Homo-oligomer: A and B are copies of this chain.
Amino acid sequence: MDTKRLEDIANKKMTRRDALKLAGVGGMGLLVGAGGVGAIMQPKSPATNTATSTGTGAVNGIVPFYGKHQSGIITPMQDFICMGAFDLTATDIADVRKLFQSWTAASARMTEGKGVDDESDNPHLPPVDTGESIGLDPMRMTITFGLGASFFDDRFGLSSKRPAPLVDMPHFNSDDIRKEWEGGDIVVQVCANDPQVAFHAIRNLARIARGKAVLRWVQDGFQRTSASDPAGSTPRNLMGFKDGSNNPKVSDPAAADEIVWAQSSDDPSWMAGGSYMVMRRIRMRIEIWDRSSLDDQESTFGRHRQSGAPLGKTGEFDDLELHRKDSNGNLIVPSTSHVALANMEGKVKILRRGYSYSSGMDPKTGQLDAGLLFVCFNRDPRKQFIPMQQKLAAADQLNEYITHVGSGLFACLPGASEGGYIGDTLF
């Protein structure tokens, strides 16, 4: 794509017809990427997150890294995720502080579409940045840091600072958590509208951490690309059902404060403006699911597959009426359906931000290793995620088709101001 021509569109030197031609209409076969035009128009200078911002960058442009909150939490979901957990090898808190300072500076640059730092002029040195994202747009990348319970053991003298909501995750019925997908001292969630941009960030953060921290696990994931769904429908999970219809609207600051953000009145105060992230690697028993009837699938979710509507309704966003009965007196939405149990009588909400994953085959079983990289944010997991998951683990019909194989709970730090760094309220 000729940048000059895109600028011509912006400067109105082209007709509407030319613009459409450029967009591929008329068989010219040129390719305007998602937001190809928008990306050019997007100012490259960083802005600052505000308290009420949802962190929405322009299409494929920059989501500000600095702000009251970390981005990547109430930011509208991007198309891809690359999430990694690190274990610290550093033994001195000063090194941990330095690591977060370096990570902050590099992350702020990467979210602007730059390399981790300026390249040196000395070709006898390794490049400063690994280079695979040179020339690529910022792609709305966000980088979100969190601390696991193990961060607060006795290594760094921080055990008294462990937040009460950062509990040890309880064992749930039907969990089959594998060591290699569990925990970590630090989690880094990278989301972007491009998988290469996201991979680049995790890889360069791992490189910066050399000598201080090592990767423990890495999982990437995807949604359908925005480009595949110009209507912007709710994405479908790998069971074929719409997932997220009922997510709270955290563009409303009051809802975000209630559901997502740790408040200054909560304990500890250094977490004010942060949030607690739950990661669950949920493997789907795809082959078994695919053999179950449409009836079974719909009663398992409590929704219709095609429309996403609650059972007995026609619209995806129609009210979920859990007490409605059919003419025989049976509940229309079964009480053990996923949607009925997760509803928690409407009293408990979490912000879901999950992605599908596909990791080839499980060599042990010869079946696809695919499912949901469940991610959610909540203000206090003791009152939100954990009771909800206890209810689901005990009775959810969906348990027949899924296994939780990975798990993590992390305290996602408050955002940093320019000049500060992620973690500066703690260290």
The chain A residues found within 8 Å of chain B, CB to CB, are 1-3, 6, 9-10, 12, 14-17, 19-20, 23-25, 27, 29-41, 56, 58-60, 82, 123-127, 129-137, 139, 180, 193-197, 199, 203, 206-207, 214-220, 222-233, 236-241, 286, 290-295, 297-298, 305-306, 356, 358-361, 363, 366, 368, 370
Contact = CB atoms under 8 A, between A and B. Distances in A.
Nearest to A128: B294
A126 B292 contact: yes
Nearest to A23: B37
Contacts of A207: 290
Given A39-B230, A230-B3, A20 B23 contact: no
B3 A24 contact: no
Contact of A214 (B3, B24, B56, B366): B366
Copies in the complex: 2
A3 B232 CA distance: 10
A126 B133 CA distance: 43
A203 B82 contact: no
B290 A33 contact: no
Nearest to A232: B1
B360 A196 contact: no
A193 B228 contact: yes
B58 A196 contact: no
B24 A37 contact: yes
Given A39-B230, A127-B294, A225-B193, A240 B33 contact: no
A372 B25 CA distance: 33
A226 B31 contact: yes
A265 B226 CA distance: 46
20 contacts: A1-B230, A12-B17, A14-B16, A23-B35, A23-B38, A24-B41, A25-B41, A29-B56, A31-B59, A32-B32, A34-B227, A124-B293, A124-B294, A126-B290, A127-B294, A127-B305, A130-B238, A137-B227, A220-B358, A359-B360
A24 B20 contact: no
B196 A132 contact: no
Nearest to A19: B16
